[in-house]
Amino acid sequence: MRVWLKKYREDKGLIQQEVADASKIERAYYTMIENGCRKPSVLVAKRIGKTLDFDWTLFFEDERNDMKHLGRGDITPQQNSYQ
CATH class of 3-70: mainly alpha
What is the Cα–Cα distance from 48 to 40, expressed in whole angstroms? 9
Name the 3-class secondary structure at 44: helix
pTM comes to 0.75
Q: What is the pLDDT of residues 10-67, one digit of tens each?
A: 999 999 999 999 999 999 999 999 999 999 999 999 999 999 999 999 998 865 444 5
| 3 neighbors 34 (Cβ within 8 angstroms) | no
CA proximity to 65, closest of 4, 1, 8: 4
